[in-house]
Amino acid sequence: MFIDEVRIWVKAGDGGNGCVAFRREKFVPRGGPSGGDGGRGGDVEMVASSHHNTLLHFRFNPEHKAERGRHGEGSNRTGRDGAGVELPVPPGTVVYDEATGEVLHDFAHAGERFVVARGGRGGRGNQHFATPTHQAPTEHEDGKPGEERRLRLELKLLADVGLVGFPNVGKSTLISRISAAKPKIADYPFTTLVPNLGVVEAGERTYVVADIPGLIEGAHEGHGLGMQFLRHVERTRLLVHVLDVSDASGRDPVDDFHVVMRELGSFSPAMAAKRMILVASKCDAARDEETVERVRELAAEQGLEFLAISSATGQNIDRLKFAMAEAVFAQQPAPAADEGSEQESS
C-alpha cells in the first residue's frame, strides 16, 4: 500500500522527580541532604530514511511515546535519562503541527534528523536547597512534563521529472519504456492508483521520473485521484505533459492540455509555471496527422519543447530521455562548496 498522508500523536518522556534524602552513615556527622536529581525524559526524533518510501508504517501505529526519566535517589545519585524514540520517515516528508498548521520540518535528504517533541527536564533533589541557615531541606522539584503533539505527516515524492496528463494517455507505458519501473498497464482509465518512480539513464546522467495518476477536470477539488497526488509534482524540476493523439482516445488533446493546466494552476500557481515538455503520445495509432500538427502548433504557441512519441514502437523515446536530462540538469542548484565560499567571503 502507498500511504502519503497520516496523522500521529507523539509524547516525549517526562522528567524524573528530584529525591529527598539525607546521609545517615555512622561516621559522617551532620551528613546533610543527599537527594539526587531526576533524569531527563526521552525525546521523540524523526529521521529521514532511504529505506522507506511510504508512510504505511504509521497507518496502524499512530501513537509514539518516549520513556520518562528515572527519579533521583539518595547518595546524590541522578536518575537515568529516559530512552528516546526514533521515527523513520521517507525523504520528502513534511511535518505539520495539526493544531496550528505550522510546518515544523521538511525532510529533503536522507539522514536528516529533527526532534518533534523534547523530553522534560528532571527535577532537582533536596541537596540543591541547602543553605547555611536551612541545613535539612525537605524541598525538591518534580520533573517537567515532556512535550506532547499531534502531527500530520505529508509525503511529497522527490522526483526530477513528473509525468502529467489525463488518465490512459500512456504515462505508465512511457515510464516502463524509459526505466526499470513496472507499473500496472491496462486499457482503461485510472489503471495507475499510486505514483510510480523510475530511474532513467541518459548517457552518463541519471534522474528520477514520477508517473502521477491521471488528472481530470476538478482534480484540485478532489475529483478523480488528482487532489490526492498533485502534491507529488510540486518538487519536480520538469513536467512532461503527455497528450493522447491516437484515433481511439475520443478526446481533443488541445482541450485536455488546457484542462490539465487549469488544474495545475488552481492547485499551485508555481506548478503551472514549471518548465515543461509537451509530448504527443501514441503516434503509431494516429492515422490523422492533423491532430499531431495541432498539438505541435499548441506547443509553439505556449513556447514549449515538443516531441511526438510512441512507446509501442520506440519512436523518439531516446530523444525524449535526453531532452528531459538536458532540462533537468540545466536547473541544477549551485554546488554547496560555492555557497560555503560565499559565506566565508561575506
293-302 as b/e, with b when 16 or more CB fall inside 10 Å?
A: ebbbebbeee
Domain limit, last residue, from 114, 138, 155 = 155
Q: Domain check: are 135 and 251 in the same one? A: no
Q: Is residue 338's pLDDT more than 60?
A: no
How far is residue 15's CA from residue 68's CA, in Å, rounded to a whole number?
Answer: 6
Greatest mean pLDDT among 42-46, 198-202, 272-276 = 42-46
Q: Domain check: are 214 and 268 in the same one? A: yes
The pLDDT score that the predictor gives to residue 194 is 66
The pLDDT tens digits of the residues spanning 153-162 come to: 998 877 889 8
Q: Domain check: are 303 and 289 in the same one? A: yes
Flag whether 20 is in a domain: yes
Q: Number of folded domains in the chain?
A: 2
Positive or negative, the CA dihedral 94, 97, 101, 105 is negative
Q: Is residue 1's pLDDT more than 70?
A: no
Flag whether 343 is in a domain: no
How far is residue 65's CA from residue 212's CA, in Å, rounded to a whole number?
Answer: 35
Q: Is residue 199's pLDDT more than 90?
A: no
Domain limit, last residue, from 155, 171, 188 = 155
Q: Domain check: are 295 and 323 in the same one? A: yes
Q: Domain check: are 150 and 166 in the same one? A: no
Average pLDDT over the chain reads 84
133-145 as b/e, with b when 16 or more CB fall inside 10 Å?
A: eeeebeebbbbbb
The pLDDT score that the predictor gives to residue 182 is 63
Query: Looking at residues 164-170, what average pLDDT do you find?
Result: 84
Flag whether 101 is in a domain: yes
Flag whether 41 is in a domain: yes
The pLDDT tens digits of the residues spanning 55-74 come to: 888 988 999 999 999 999 99
62-93 as b/e, with b when 16 or more CB fall inside 10 Å?
A: eebbbbbbbbbbbebbbbbbbebbebebbbbb
Is 231:263 a contact under the CB 8 Å cutoff?
A: no
Which of 27-31, 146-150, 180-184, 252-256 is predicted least confidently? 180-184
Domain limit, last residue, from 155, 177, 192 = 155
Is 323:307 a contact under the CB 8 Å cutoff?
A: yes
Q: Domain check: are 184 and 316 in the same one? A: yes
How far is residue 252's CA from residue 244's CA, in Å, rounded to a whole number?
Answer: 9
pLDDT band at 232 (very low <50, low <70, confident <90, very high): confident
Q: Domain check: are 93 and 189 in the same one? A: no
Q: For residue 116, what is the domain's CATH number?
A: 2.70.210.12
Q: What does each C-alpha distance from 177 to 185, 313, 328 come to in angstroms? A: 12, 10, 19
The pLDDT tens digits of the residues spanning 203-216 come to: 888 888 888 776 66
The pLDDT tens digits of the residues spanning 104-140 come to: 999 988 999 999 999 999 999 999 999 988 988 999 9
The pLDDT score that the predictor gives to residue 344 is 41
By residue range, what is the domain housing residue 116?
Answer: 1-155
Q: Domain check: are 117 and 264 in the same one? A: no
Q: Is residue 76's pLDDT more than 50?
A: yes
Q: For residue 267, what is the domain's CATH number?
A: 3.40.50.300
pTM (2 d.p.) = 0.70
The pLDDT tens digits of the residues spanning 250-298 come to: 788 899 899 888 888 888 888 888 899 999 998 888 777 888 899 999 9
The pLDDT tens digits of the residues spanning 299-321 come to: 999 999 999 998 888 889 999 99
Q: Domain check: are 170 and 292 in the same one? A: yes
Flag whether 198 is in a domain: yes
Flag whether 338 is in a domain: no
